[in-house]
Structure 1
Amino acid sequence: METIVNTHQERAWNDYEGRHWAEHQTRYDGVNSGFNPPLLAAVRPGDRVLDIGCGNGQITRLAARAADGHAVGVDLSAPMLDRARASAAAEGVTKVEFVRADAQVHPFPAAAFDVALSRFGVMFFADPVAAFANIGRALRPGGRLAFVCLDDIRDGDLGRVLAAFAAHLPRLETDGSGVAEPLSLADPTVVHRVLTAAGFAGVDCARVEAPQLWGRDVADAAGFLAGWGPVRHQLDRVDPDTADRARAALAEALRPHEQPDGVRLRGTAWLVTAHRPA
């Protein structure tokens, strides 16, 4: 594997975080697949597709089918890429390739793709301008970029659930490392600035919503959320009694969202589109 500059994320996604996403592939797809339709609307018949931060590869496989063409998924996580390859084989999707690489510096062939996609995979770049510029060089002139990224989740269902959980924990201080966070592209002004500096044009941010299935019932959803990397990290740093109180608050906050078919939260995100100038 070539040089990786995003070493912090490489460690995380090849350790607990990546293993958890790989082991719970179906559940994470249940959380995020509601955002697939607006994202896949960018794919046209015959497109050559690049999926950035492809994870377990659902978007890569769906895009290959939608385009009836070839799709390449790129990610740092070896556990998730193993799941992506196994899923493609099980589903009989042959026009896909999965590459373990850092999209910020990977030597993509120039002008090799018609469209680059990402479902929540572009928020963690060490240098977002350099990363998007590198992705742009992989697109043909006039090629398209479409991705979904988190908006400010604090005002949504998940934000309120996590706030109830966090109220029982000591404040989590940042370490000042400058490591990109999930909300790094939550401000459309930042998105416009980054993509314009990276050479893209026609930048647009549209808010999209989708139901997110977190579990069969409250107990199941709370257990799954407690194992999600950001939540588990906070639980691991407190004593058992404090952790139990936080878990109970998490379950109670999920209770109003329990429906006959499971616990569903309303998810919101930005759908970002742009293009490489012709």
Structure 2
Amino acid sequence: MDRGSDRQADGDGAAQPPDGLAAGNTAQSEAWNGDVGEYWVRRRAHQERRYRRLTPRLMAAAGIRADSRVLDIGCGSGGTALEAARAAAAGTVLGVDLSGPMLAEARRQAAAAGLPQVAFAQGDAQVHPFGAAAFDVVISRYGMMFFADPEGALRNIARALRPGGRLAFLCWRDLALNAYLTVPFEALAPYVPPPDFGAPGAPGPFSLADPGRIRALLDGAGFGGVSVEAVDEPMWMGTDEDDAVASLTAMPLTRSLLDQAGEEARGRALAALRETLAAHRGPDGVTLGCASWLVTAGRR
């Protein structure tokens, strides 16, 4: 198992990009080693609660055994890697991500949980030298949509997976089906510029929304037995509308949009957002729908 690329910061504490970075992936690296990565570190516990209905679906589909060698692509602050390590108690887990800040948090969480079988590497999964057939299972929770070269990334991941090994990942379906984003941004729309979630098929959260594209990419990379299952679950947004507003407005994307509005427009936007989210408050807090694909495949 490759345990290299563990650099976290330079002498001034600034996050550094990984040594090996695929062409076209510089913007993603800068984002995840900047404000975006820092945001998700601060919101780690909130994020895990948001995904509490989704993470078990991924883990059940992965079929991790006690002695499995597991690779977690886009592991972020370590939530899924730690879950995999608990399942692979006699195995190994490697979490890989572009984000130095998030990996530093993942290491802290793993140490606190007493899970020595999990390690983390800062790297670009499109080109990272994982080693041939080094893993039995590859998982990813919303980490597969950001590749500049998805064909190359999946070929590299396939090489790292032993023949007969299993791939399981979650990715988003169409934006229009994901109320956890459409509802808040529709509330903000009269007052701030529209968000840019990327062109169809371009690197971004909805690049794998087309199941036909998923199947074609996996087939071309050497996977068979592909299953693309629709998963619809409520997304927890916050304990109440104020918590949900605080979380949403701390996102670098939302903060940037609000910064472009005048003071009066910004105040109206926040009031509209709070009113909208209050209408979705229930016994479990504020929840909105989310729509994902749960994808599984085997290495041919």
- TM-score interval (norm. to shorter): over 0.9
Residue matched to 2:78: 57
Give the Cα–Cα distance (whole angstroms) in 1 for the partners of residues 176 and 56 of structure 2.
Answer: 24
1:2 aligns with 2:19: yes
The CA deviation at 1:96 is 0.2
Residue matched to 1:191: 214
What TM-score does the superposition give when structure 2 sets the normalisation length? 0.87
1:27 aligns with 2:46: yes
Give the Cα–Cα distance (whole angstroms) in 1 for the partners of residues 198 and 225 of structure 2.
Answer: 36
Matched residue SS, 1:34: coil
Residue matched to 1:154: 176
Residue matched to 1:210: 233
Give the Cα–Cα distance (whole angstroms) in 2 for the partners of residues 198 and 96 of structure 1.
Answer: 27
Aligned match for 2:143, one of 116, 121, 125: 121
The CA deviation at 1:172 is 4.8
Map 1:173-188 onto structure 2 (within 5 A).
Answer: 180-188=203-211
1:14 aligns with 2:33: yes
Give the Cα–Cα distance (whole angstroms) in 2 for the partners of residues 156 and 53 of structure 1.
Answer: 21
**TM-aligned CA distance change 1:172 to 1:157, over 3 Å:** closer
Letter in 2 for 1:207: A
Letter in 1 for 2:71: L
Q: Which moved more, 1:164-173 or 1:10-19?
A: 164-173
The CA deviation at 1:252 is 1.7
1:105 aligns with 2:127: yes
**TM-aligned CA distance change 1:215 to 1:171, over 3 Å:** closer
**TM-aligned CA distance change 1:167 to 1:154, over 3 Å:** farther
The CA deviation at 1:62 is 0.7
**TM-aligned CA distance change 1:20 to 1:170, over 3 Å:** closer
Q: Which moved more, 1:127-136 or 1:165-174?
A: 165-174
**TM-aligned CA distance change 1:125 to 1:227, over 3 Å:** same
Identity %: 46
Give the Cα–Cα distance (whole angstroms) in 2 for the partners of residues 88 and 197 of structure 1.
Answer: 35
Aligned match for 2:294, one of 254, 261, 271: 271
Matched residue SS, 1:33: coil
**TM-aligned CA distance change 1:174 to 1:93, over 3 Å:** closer
Map 1:232-247 onto structure 2 (within 5 A).
Answer: 232-247=255-270
Residue matched to 2:92: 70
Residue matched to 2:5: none
The CA deviation at 1:175 is 8.7
Residue matched to 1:140: 162
**TM-aligned CA distance change 1:73 to 1:174, over 3 Å:** closer
Letter in 2 for 1:43: G
Q: Which moved more, 1:264-273 or 1:79-88?
A: 264-273
* 1:117-150 C-alpha deviation (Å, 9 max, x unpaired): 0001111101111111100100000111100011
The CA deviation at 1:228 is 1.6
* 1:66-117 C-alpha deviation (Å, 9 max, x unpaired): 1222110000101100110000111111100000000000011110001100
Letter in 1 for 2:226: V
* 1:259-278 C-alpha deviation (Å, 9 max, x unpaired): 2332122322110111110x
Matched residue SS, 1:207: strand
1:228 aligns with 2:268: no
Tell me the C-alpha RMSD between the 2 structures: 1.8
Give the Cα–Cα distance (whole angstroms) in 2 for the partners of residues 22 and 181 of structure 1.
Answer: 20
**TM-aligned CA distance change 1:224 to 1:175, over 3 Å:** closer
Letter in 2 for 1:4: L
Residue matched to 1:44: 64
What TM-score does the superposition give when structure 1 sets the normalisation length? 0.93
| Alignment size in residue pairs | 276
Greater fraction helix? 1
Letter in 1 for 2:150: P
